[in-house]
């Protein structure tokens, strides 16, 4: 019989310690709760970490995608993207009045860049690729660069699952600091780039479309991140490498436990994944239990499972726009079989063992 764990174990959650709390309090007592020095300090740490020249912090990852899409795209542009992401990735293309084209995924859950190339060969009017480093596995940088240079497309990397990953050639990379991500600022996000013009434009759009002399030149937004949030971010980013390592340890342990069983890790353990999510697949057709029943039974045992993600192109809103009938056999199969297990730095060894034992007990 598995150990009894009384607290609910979610699939992800933040790690906040006393250092985070005390630096937060210091900022609360300071003169600037927003537009102060903590913003620049946090942005500097982010661009250093991602090996880029520029960073703009914003109020959340969705705002980062929105401003990036406005800076990269024009009305009507066709953009290749993945059905396997949080809805915000594709929504940002719609915000810019551009057109998402959904491409099937590979076995590791990320957009199939070979299929992207086929699409680019067939349609020379495609302008960009919005790709996601899905679950924390770093995208194939060489292939992205090849597509960027061969077909002249803009590349946005949605690195919401890969905080701090180095930008190599892509035009823009974005991060999210939502509590389930690698570092938390409550809500928060950032855009990094090496392109000065993109940086200037995004910075202006973040602040109502105003330049440094408060002249409003474009229709912008208030997407600023406060000093309160940036202070938390500064304290958290110091621990980022540790957080990633802890997630990798958890992933390794799951992989070992599932070796030669019906539970298949989405991809074999790799250091090239930051493991925002630990995802497995099961062929439920071979079992007496459905995935819904498994979720219910695990929840009764205080364990939260999640699906990442329902295909974006099959969301009701997207169906209303005429999407949903694309040929995406890998995505369809993946969606039937996938689920995410608890994976976050504060997950204890005992808790992880409890998750594994409970899973096997229910699937037996
Ligand atoms: C891949 C991806 N992109 C973008 C976002 C949006 O980030 P936020 O929740 O900070 O707006 C998320 C958040 O879940 C995400 O997983």
Q: Note whether 71 and 172 are within 8 A (CB).
A: yes
Q: Ligand 1 pocket test: which of 105, 176, 221, 312 has the largest number of ligand atoms within 8 Å of its C-beta?
A: 176
- The helix or strand, by DSSP H or E, that contains position 341, with its residue range, turns out to be strand 338-341
Burial label, 50 (beta-carbon count in 10 A; 0-12, 13-18, 19+): buried
| The predicted structure's pLDDT at residue 10 | 97
Q: Ligand 1 pocket test: which of 86, 105, 174 has the largest number of ligand atoms within 8 Å of its C-beta?
A: 86
**Ligand 1 lined by 60 (C-beta under 6 Å):** yes
**Ligand 1 lined by 178 (C-beta under 6 Å):** yes
**Ligand 1 lined by 81 (C-beta under 6 Å):** no
**Ligand 1 lined by 112 (C-beta under 6 Å):** no
What tokens does 12 get? 């992800």
- The helix or strand, by DSSP H or E, that contains position 204, with its residue range, turns out to be helix 196-206
| The predicted structure's pLDDT at residue 6 | 66
| The predicted structure's pLDDT at residue 5 | 63
Residue for token digits 């997950």? 347
Atom 7 of ligand 1, residue of closest alpha carbon: 61
**Ligand 1 lined by 359 (C-beta under 6 Å):** no
My answer on whether omega of the bond before 309 falls inside 30° of 0, hence cis, is: yes
**Ligand 1 lined by 86 (C-beta under 6 Å):** yes
| The predicted structure's pLDDT at residue 79 | 99
How many Cα neighbours within 13 Å face the side chain of 362?
A: 21
Over its length of 364 residues, how does the chain's per-residue pLDDT go in tens digits? Answer: 445 566 999 999 999 999 999 999 999 999 999 999 999 999 999 999 999 999 999 999 999 999 999 999 999 999 999 999 999 999 999 999 999 999 999 999 999 999 999 999 999 999 999 999 999 999 999 999 999 999 999 999 999 999 999 999 999 999 999 999 999 999 999 999 999 999 999 999 999 999 999 999 999 999 999 999 999 999 999 999 999 999 999 999 999 999 999 999 999 999 999 999 999 999 999 999 999 999 999 999 999 999 999 999 999 999 999 999 999 999 999 999 999 999 999 999 999 999 999 999 999 8
Q: Note whether 186 and 172 are within 8 A (CB).
A: no
Q: For the whole prediction, is pTM greater than 0.85?
A: yes
| The predicted structure's pLDDT at residue 30 | 94
């Amino acid at each position: 019989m598995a150990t009894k764990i009384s607290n609910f174990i979610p699939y992800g959650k933040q790690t906040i310690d006393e250092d985070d709390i005390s630096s937060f309090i210091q900022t609360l007592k300071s003169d600037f709760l927003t537009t102060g020095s903590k913003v620049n300090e946090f942005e500097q740490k982010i661009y250093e970490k991602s090996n880029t020249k520029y960073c703009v912090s914003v109020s959340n990852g969705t705002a980062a995608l929105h401003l990036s899409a406005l800076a990269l795209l024009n009305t009507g542009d066709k953009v290749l993207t993945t059905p396997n992401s949080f809805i915000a990735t594709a929504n940002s293309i719609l915000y810019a009045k551009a057109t998402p084209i959904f491409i099937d995924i590979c076995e590791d859950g990320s957009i199939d860049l070979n299929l992207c190339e086929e699409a680019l060969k067939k349609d020379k009017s495609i302008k960009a690729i919005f790709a996601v480093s899905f679950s924390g596995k770093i995208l194939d940088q060489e292939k992205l660069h090849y597509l960027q240079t061969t077909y002249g497309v803009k590349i946005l990397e949605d690195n919401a699952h890969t905080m701090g990953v180095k930008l190599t050639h892509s035009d823009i990379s974005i991060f999210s600091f939502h509590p389930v991500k690698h570092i938390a600022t409550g809500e928060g996000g950032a855009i990094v780039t090496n392109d000065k013009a993109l940086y200037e434009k995004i910075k202006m759009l973040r602040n109502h479309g105003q330049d440094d002399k408060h002249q409003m030149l474009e229709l912008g937004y208030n997407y600023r991140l406060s000093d309160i949030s940036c202070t938390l971010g500064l304290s958290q980013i110091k621990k980022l490498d540790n957080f990633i390592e802890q997630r990798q340890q958890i992933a390794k342990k799951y992989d070992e436990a599932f070796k030669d069983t019906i539970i298949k890790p989405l991809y074999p353990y790799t250091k090239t994944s930051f493991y925002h999510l630990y995802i497995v697949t099961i062929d439920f057709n071979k079992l007496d239990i459905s995935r819904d029943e498994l979720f219910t039974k695990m929840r009764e045992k205080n364990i939260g499972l999640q699906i990442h993600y329902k295909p974006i192109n099959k969301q009701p809103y997207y169906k209303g726009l005429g999407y949903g009938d694309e040929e995406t056999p890998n995505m369809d199969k993946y969606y039937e079989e996938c689920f995410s297990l608890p994976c976050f730095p504060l997950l204890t060894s005992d808790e992880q063992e409890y998750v594994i034992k409970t899973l096997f007990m229910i699937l037996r």
